[in-house]
Structure 1
Amino acid sequence: DFMDRAKLLCSLGQTVLISNFKEYYKLVEYFSQYSKSRMGLSMGVNNLIEIFDEKYYRHLSGGILEAFGKLFFKDLRVYLYPMQNEDGSITNSENLKVHPRMKELYKFFKYNGKVVDIADFNPGILNIFSRNVLTMINEGKEGWQEYLPPGTAEIIKKQSLFGCETEEVLHKDE
């Protein structure tokens, strides 16, 4: 579904960069070669929690500290989109739980302004997760369109993205 996401974003007039960087610090390191300006990364709570998982940095001689040195070099900021929990409460940078060994490292970045909450969010869409919508599309379930911005469902249907097969597309093949 990765290429379908890129096609959809391009159809909506967005610029898409595709890279083979799996780690955020490598992406920031790459862009730092071409810009002296401050950079920011926008991400959800789950992605930020993943960044603080040491397993991604075992191959580095300096481990997670080396990766974070590269990531937060040049005054980078992480803009954090909140998450709604099953009980309706909101997780943001103030109440985010990271592994106990990472707690002090997280606090360092939080209190030095490197992790900033996105305050202007729509609480009405916090319960929408792309993986759930994708599953609905793949399984041909009804109602997935209501979770998308206006015009997006039409593009998905027209271009048969994410395994979406409309009757119109099915009849063309006959």
Structure 2
Amino acid sequence: RSAEFYRIATYLSRYTAEPIAIILSIGLLNELFKAKWSENLAGGILESFGRLFKNRVQLFVYPWHNTKSLELVTVDNFKAPENWQFFYQHLLQNDRIHSIGVGDPALLAMTSRKAMKLIEAGGSDWQQWVPEEAHQLVRRIQAGS
């Protein structure tokens, strides 16, 4: 249940009185607006957002490179579902959602799924996308040890 961030926020708020920041992608932000993630809540999507933000939670969203349109989708040009656009603007204007900048947009072309496929292919192309600290572990797994 990947988009039930209100549950994560509730859990974390039990252990801190400090503000909570959740980092997510534009894709997961989009998921927050889907009814399937709040079917068990009487108030639906609105209740889900209410629970998410009740404990000083802020979302920090990193951009996504749309490979079909070649557009860089950020919190500023993200299109919330039509019936949620004003609510989304409210969240932006009240500092509940923040944009994470990207230094090199070319880096957004690589996803974790693509990196896993490169690793599984057994070549060395994956090394430029995976932190140096993980290289030895990946090599051990590839070697079967």
| Structure 1 and Structure 2 fold alike (TM over 0.5) | yes
Gaps of 5+ in 2: none
SS for the counterpart of 2:132 is: coil
1:130 partnered with 2:112:
yes
1:68 partnered with 2:53:
no
Distance 1:83 1:21 in 2: 18
Percent of pairs with identical residues: 25
Q: State the 4+ residue runs in structure 1 displaced beyond 4 angstroms.
A: none
Distance 1:155 1:141 in 2: 15
The residue correspondences of 1:5-44 to structure 2 (distance < 5 A) are 23-44=4-25
- Indicate the structure (1 or 2) with the bigger Cα radius of gyration: 1
The residue correspondences of 1:157-172 to structure 2 (distance < 5 A) are 157-158=139-140, 160=141, 165-166=142-143, 169=144
The residue correspondences of 1:95-174 to structure 2 (distance < 5 A) are 95-119=77-101, 121-158=103-140, 160=141, 165-166=142-143, 169=144
Q: CA offset at residue 141 of structure 1?
A: 4.8
How many residue pairs match? The answer is 144
Q: CA offset at residue 22 of structure 1?
A: 6.2
Q: CA offset at residue 120 of structure 1?
A: 5.3
SS for the counterpart of 1:94 is: coil
Question: Does the CA contact (< 8 Å) of 2:60 and 2:99 recur in 1?
Answer: yes
SS for the counterpart of 1:80 is: strand
Could you say which residue in structure 2 is the equivalent of 1:91? 73
Residues 80 and 22 of structure 1: is their aligned pair in 2 closer, same or farther, counting only changes over 3 Å? closer
Distance 2:71 2:3 in 1: 30
SS for the counterpart of 1:151 is: helix
Gaps of 5+ in 1: 1-19
Could you say which residue in structure 2 is the equivalent of 1:53? 34
Distance 1:80 1:63 in 2: 23
TM-score (norm 2): 0.87
> What do the CA deviations read for 1:15-74 (whole angstroms, capped 9, x no partner)?
xxxxx9862101101111221111110111111111111111111111111111110112
SS for the counterpart of 1:77 is: strand
Q: CA offset at residue 139 of structure 1?
A: 3.7
Question: Does the CA contact (< 8 Å) of 1:78 and 1:115 recur in 2?
Answer: yes
Could you say which residue in structure 2 is the equivalent of 1:4? none
TM-score (norm 1): 0.73
